[in-house]
């Protein structure tokens, strides 16, 4: 994937690459970009079932969440392609390989960028979804299928949230939990007056990236175009 730092060159190259797509496909990319957000991001910790992490990515892509953060623990990260349905192709995925500090690297890194990190936990200390403030960017943190979040992740989080449940069972499957919360908060953001959309430059960067993912041999095409037009990247 070729990255172009010069904004004007990026626009010119994007305009050129868009001619390789149908009008309908190009319009679809633009439409999806208009509904993408980084105001909300999802963090998953040490999921061990590939179908669950793949379903989580599919949910994020469907509802318009651009970034997903994957913290490894005892289990290596992998994708179940039949379940993800190619969703991972359109997401910005941040991977934290297993280490003594990867949990802190992820959570503290998000907090330094202005995110409120919200652990998803049942129990009396967690607020319900409707009571969680969303005026600032926030990250929903989900734990493993069996054990939930680690104590380190909980301790580093800023607050916690829960889904209301009224049965004997006290937790949802991880992929269901993500789907419920992601859909709820995306709809809440869309109904708000908050500036939840991507910036213009963020959209331009992703537009070029997605164009490259939509055509064959994009690097060769771009390099030839740059050389022929004496453009700098």
Tell me the average pLDDT of the chain.
Answer: 91
Question: What pLDDT does 82 receive?
Answer: 44
Q: Which of 65, 75, 121, 68 is nearest to 97 (CA)?
A: 75
The average pLDDT across 16-37 equals 97
The SS3 of residue 9 is helix
Cα separation of 83 and 52, whole Å?
9
CA 223 to chain centroid, in Å, comes to 29
DSSP string, 125-162: TSEEGGGS--SS-EEEEE-BTTTBS-HHHHHHSSEEEE
Query: 84-98, 134-148, 158-172: lowest mean pLDDT where?
Result: 84-98
Burial tier of 8 (Cβ tally within 10 Å: 0-12, 13-18, 19+): exposed
Q: Where are the domains of the chain?
A: 40-194
58 CB-near residues (< 8 Å, 6+ apart): 83, 84, 85, 87
Cα separation of 209 and 142, whole Å?
28
The crossing angle, in degrees rounded to 10, of helices 200-213 and 218-228 is 120
Cα separation of 13 and 93, whole Å?
24
Architecture of 40-194 per CATH? Answer: 3-Layer(aba) Sandwich (3.40)
Question: What pLDDT does 50 receive?
Answer: 65
- Token digits of residue 111: 């907090």
The rounded radius of gyration (Å) of the Cα atoms in the chain is 19
Confidence of residue 80 (pLDDT cuts 50, 70, 90): very low
């Amino acid at each position: 994937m070729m990255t172009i730092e010069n904004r004007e060159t990026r626009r010119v190259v994007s305009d050129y690459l868009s001619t390789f797509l149908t009008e309908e496909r190009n319009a679809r990319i633009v439409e999806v970009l208009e509904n993408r957000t980084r105001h909300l991001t999802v963090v998953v910790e040490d999921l061990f079932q590939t179908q669950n992490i793949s379903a989580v990515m599919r949910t994020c892509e469907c509802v318009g969440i651009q970034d997903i953060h994957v913290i490894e623990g005892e289990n290596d990260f992998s994708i179940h392609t039949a379940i993800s349905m190619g969703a991972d192709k359109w997401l910005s995925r941040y991977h934290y390989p297993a280490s003594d500090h990867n949990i802190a690297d992820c959570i503290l890194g998000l907090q330094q960028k202005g995110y409120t990190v919200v652990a998803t936990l049942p129990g009396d200390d967690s607020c319900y979804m409707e009571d969680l403030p969303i005026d600032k960017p926030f990250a929903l943190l989900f734990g493993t299928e069996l054990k939930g979040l680690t104590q380190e992740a909980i301790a580093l989080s800023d607050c916690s949230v829960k889904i209301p449940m009224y049965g004997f069972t006290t937790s949802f499957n991880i992929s269901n939990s993500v789907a419920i919360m992601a859909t709820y908060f995306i709809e809440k953001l869309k109904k708000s007056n908050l500036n939840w959309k991507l910036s213009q430059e963020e959209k331009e960067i992703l537009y070029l990236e997605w164009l490259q993912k939509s055509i064959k041999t994009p690097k060769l095409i771009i390099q030839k175009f740059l050389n022929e037009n004496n453009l700098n990247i």
